[in-house]
């Protein structure tokens, strides 16, 4: 919820515009300003104050408690010129909504203002260590300073985990060299001695299996877990899940503790746990719930591990054991859209920025290189070795990294998503996420008018991977079915015959006056849009950077635009 606090008429008018834009997530606070801010502070995750920054600072100062839980605050000036991120810039990606930096951008977007952001890491494009999505401990200020000053920083990965690229200046630790950088980032679930130059990033790599007698308290289990981890030299910040047997799914102490720690409580059937070989089976749980091990077996099953990091330890009413889960890599299939930067989805940008490896055809990668975080590995391929690159993307994700496989338009349309998914096969061992992109077909259609207003088909005329007979059969079906058709890959230096053959087939079923659109380099610098007819089309204007859209028998040219009617008109 976004609380809106305004004092003047101009402020109230601007607040009303935010309410109109976000009716379900905004709430206005009236009355004496100090009182309004206090109520908004208590009830909202984000505040927009239509007030001077000075006045806002004075009013929120007595309310400040903790960087992690305080609401994000944005100030908007009286003229609506600036949206200033005042407090809580970074709190990105939490359930409570985005941080003030992002909120300032969103508010500025609605009001036509300029966002003002002063968090150093955001301004310079250096990733804030607290924005990587993992708990961070240690010398955050010192290492951030080193990053901003572009000093080399050692990155030591103890536990591989899918993370964004950490930094451009990262260097791998090399003990043989005497002058190792002073500043270090260590990705680890282990406890390390405090060091004024070291930051620890905590991947959620540990799974704690828990067995409990009825009525156990959350405190008892928490203490037992804490003691077991400390003794093994492991950090409680890296616990990613608790696991137990089905029968204990409702055990109040366990549910309360999972809640308190913000962790999922995974449960497994006793029969499954009973089938796991564990170091310390015992008779008590076998009698109570039907498996000789709960803590050890649940830790192993939930982590998908063969060995425990910490074998069972017990207190009066609980047992715990710890296993480490293999990193689960992430593969995103990201559509980059037809070319123009502002047709690339914000979600695609976020995924590109959270990947440490980006893979795709070189011409497409050039389109987005400036968006990548410093240090991102870019694997470009030329036309032809797409399959090999798709496989490399899956293999790299399987090694526990965060990989973005990109394609122009949509990555799943005549592009690398299919070979990647086929190669990934039936093993669900990585997270796979698709981010849709605006296809060449849609971009061309918008430029031409509304040629896709009724049923349409898309046919690739490339016979590199498909026999021409199959393509020809589809073109015939399209012709007979009277579909509007978009031809992808219509014509290249070596493939000149396919388009004329396809057009001849269509001419057998459509009048010579049928509108045809040719769009070359849609939304890119050299964009060309041509509206012609089946009779007049000169195929010489068509190349591999074009799509050709041929109308159905209902498609018309209206004021220079190609329009396919929606068809309801003809329904009886
Ligand atoms: N994944 C892409 C298609 C890749 S196949 C998509 O979803 O659009 C490559 C073919 O797409 C090219 O031969 C051309 O026919 C078409 N194409 C891609 N981008 C284009 C653009 N900006 N303008 C016109 N055609 C384009």
pLDDT in tens, 383-423: 777 888 899 999 999 988 899 999 999 999 999 999 999 99
Q: What is the pLDDT averaged over residues 510-518?
A: 98
What percent of the chain has a predicted confidence (pLDDT) above 90?
Answer: 73
> Across-strand partners of 557?
562
Separation of alpha carbons 441 and 5, rounded Å: 45
Q: Is residue 489 in contact with ligand 1, taking CB distance under 6 Å?
A: yes
Lowest mean pLDDT among 140-144, 191-195, 393-397: 140-144
Q: Does the pLDDT value for residue 495 go beyond 80?
A: yes
User: Which of 119-123, 174-178, 274-278, 372-376 ranks highest by mean pLDDT?
Assistant: 274-278
* Consecutive H or E run containing 242: strand 239-245
Q: Is residue 545 in contact with ligand 1, taking CB distance under 6 Å?
A: yes
φ/ψ region of 518 (left if φ > 0, alpha if ψ in -120 to 50, else beta) reads beta
Nearest-CA residue for ligand 1 atom 25 is 546
pLDDT, greater one: 366 or 458: 458
pTM, two decimal places: 0.71
Q: Residue 121's pLDDT is what?
A: 66
Q: Residue 364's pLDDT is what?
A: 85
Separation of alpha carbons 572 and 555, rounded Å: 20
Q: Does the pLDDT value for residue 126 go beyond 90?
A: no
- Substitution site in 366, 547, 548 for ligand 1 pocket (most atoms within 8 Å of beta carbon): 547
- The rounded Å distance from CA 505 to ligand 1 centre is 23
Q: Does the pLDDT value for residue 572 go beyond 50?
A: no
Separation of alpha carbons 348 and 452, rounded Å: 25
Separation of alpha carbons 331 and 417, rounded Å: 10
DSSP state of 18: H
pLDDT band at 326 (very low <50, low <70, confident <90, very high): confident
Lowest mean pLDDT among 99-108, 124-133, 270-279: 124-133
Q: What is the pLDDT averaged over residues 365-385?
A: 84
Q: What is the pLDDT averaged over residues 45-68?
A: 92
What percent of the chain has a predicted confidence (pLDDT) above 70?
Answer: 94
* Consecutive H or E run containing 404: strand 402-407
Q: Is residue 549 in contact with ligand 1, taking CB distance under 6 Å?
A: no
- The rounded Å distance from CA 480 to ligand 1 centre is 25
Q: What is the pLDDT averaged over residues 337-358?
A: 93
**3-state helix vs strand vs coil in the chain, percent to 5:** 35, 25, 40
pLDDT band at 125 (very low <50, low <70, confident <90, very high): low
- Could you report the per-residue pLDDT of 518-557, keeping only the tens digit for each? 999 999 999 999 999 999 999 999 999 999 999 999 999 9
Q: What is the pLDDT averaged over residues 121-132?
A: 68
Question: Where are any strands of DSSP class E within 263-317?
Answer: 265-268, 310-314
Q: Does the pLDDT value for residue 358 go beyond 70?
A: yes
Q: Is residue 161 in contact with ligand 1, taking CB distance under 6 Å?
A: no
> Across-strand partners of 406?
334
Could you tell me which residues come within 8 angstroms of residue 7 by beta carbon, excluding any fewer than 6 positions away? 33, 50, 51
Could you tell me which residues come within 8 angstroms of residue 347 by beta carbon, excluding any fewer than 6 positions away? 435
Q: Residue 156's pLDDT is what?
A: 87
Q: Residue 571's pLDDT is what?
A: 45
pLDDT, greater one: 177 or 265: 265
Separation of alpha carbons 10 and 184, rounded Å: 49
Q: Residue 569's pLDDT is what?
A: 61
- The rounded Å distance from CA 405 to ligand 1 centre is 17
Whole-Å CA distances, 403 to 11, 355, 454? 44, 5, 37
- Substitution site in 412, 418, 440 for ligand 1 pocket (most atoms within 8 Å of beta carbon): 440
Short-list 15, 38, 37, 41, CA closest to 107 = 15
pLDDT band at 95 (very low <50, low <70, confident <90, very high): very low
Separation of alpha carbons 384 and 198, rounded Å: 44
pLDDT band at 94 (very low <50, low <70, confident <90, very high): very low
What average pLDDT is seen over the chain?
91
Q: Residue 157's pLDDT is what?
A: 84
Burial (Cβ within 10 Å: 0-12, 13-18, ≥19) of residue 21: middle
Q: Residue 519's pLDDT is what?
A: 98
Nearest-CA residue for ligand 1 atom 12 is 489
Separation of alpha carbons 168 and 377, rounded Å: 10
């Amino acid at each position: 919820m976004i609380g809106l606090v305004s004092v003047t008429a101009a402020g109230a008018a601007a607040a009303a515009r935010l309410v109109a834009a976000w009716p379900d997530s905004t709430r206005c606070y009236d009355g004496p300003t100090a009182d309004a801010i206090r109520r908004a502070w208590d009830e909202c995750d984000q505040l927009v104050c239509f007030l001077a920054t000075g006045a806002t600072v004075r009013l929120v100062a007595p309310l400040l408690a903790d960087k992690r839980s305080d609401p994000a605050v944005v100030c908007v000036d009286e003229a609506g010129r600036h949206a200033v991120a005042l407090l809580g810039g970074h709190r990105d990606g939490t359930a409570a909504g985005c941080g003030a930096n992002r909120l300032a951008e969103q508010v500025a977007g609605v009001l036509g203002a300029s966002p003002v952001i002063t968090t150093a890491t955001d301004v310079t494009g250096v990733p804030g260590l607290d924005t990587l999505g993992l708990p961070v401990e240690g010398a955050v200020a010192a290492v951030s300073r080193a990053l901003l000053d572009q000093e080399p920083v050692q990155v030591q990965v103890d536990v591989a985990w899918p993370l964004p690229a950490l930094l451009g200046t990262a260097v791998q630790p090399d003990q043989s060299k005497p002058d190792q950088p002073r500043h270090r980032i260590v990705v680890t679930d282990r406890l390390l001695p405090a060091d004024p130059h070291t930051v620890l990033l905590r991947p959620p790599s540990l799974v704690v299996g828990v067995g409990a007698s009825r009525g156990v308290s959350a405190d008892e289990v928490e203490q037992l877990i804490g003691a077991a981890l400390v003794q093994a030299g492991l950090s409680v910040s890296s616990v990613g899940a608790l696991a137990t047997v089905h029968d204990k799914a409702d055990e109040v102490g366990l549910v309360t503790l999972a809640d308190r720690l913000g962790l999922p409580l995974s449960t497994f059937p006793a029969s499954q746990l009973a089938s796991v070989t564990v170091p310390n089976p015992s008779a008590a749980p076998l009698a109570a719930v039907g498996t000789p091990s709960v803590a050890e077996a649940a830790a192993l099953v939930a982590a998908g591990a063969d060995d425990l990091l910490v074998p069972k330890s017990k207190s009066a009413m609980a047992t715990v054991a710890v296993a480490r889960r293999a990193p689960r890599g992430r593969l995103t299939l990201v559509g980059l859209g037809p070319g123009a930067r502002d047709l690339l989805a914000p979600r695609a940008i976020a995924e590109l920025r959270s990947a440490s490896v980006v893979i795709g055809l070189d011409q497409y990668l050039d389109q987005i290189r400036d968006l990548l975080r410093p240090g991102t590995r870019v694997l470009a391929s030329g036309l032809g070795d797409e399959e090999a690159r798709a496989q490399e993307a899956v293999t790299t994700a399987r090694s526990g990294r965060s990989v973005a496989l990109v394609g122009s338009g949509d990555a799943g349309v005549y592009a690398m998503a299919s070979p990647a998914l086929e190669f990934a096969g039936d093993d669900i061992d990585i997270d796979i996420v698709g981010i849709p992109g605006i296809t060449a077909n849609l971009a061309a259609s918008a430029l031409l008018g509304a040629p896709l207003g009724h049923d349409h088909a898309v046919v690739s005329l490339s016979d590199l991977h498909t026999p021409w007979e199959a393509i020809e059969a589809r073109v015939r079906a399209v012709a007979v079915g009277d579909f509007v058709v978009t031809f992808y890959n219509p014509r290249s230096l070596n493939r000149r015959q396919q388009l004329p053959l396809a057009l001849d087939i269509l001419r057998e079923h459509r009048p010579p006056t049928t509108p045809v659109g040719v769009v070359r380099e849609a939304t890119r610098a050299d964009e060309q849009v041509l509206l012609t007819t089946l009779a007049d089309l000169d195929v010489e204007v068509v190349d591999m950077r074009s799509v050709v859209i041929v109308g159905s028998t209902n498609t018309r040219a209206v004021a220079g635009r190609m329009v396919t009617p929606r068809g309801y008109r003809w329904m009886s």
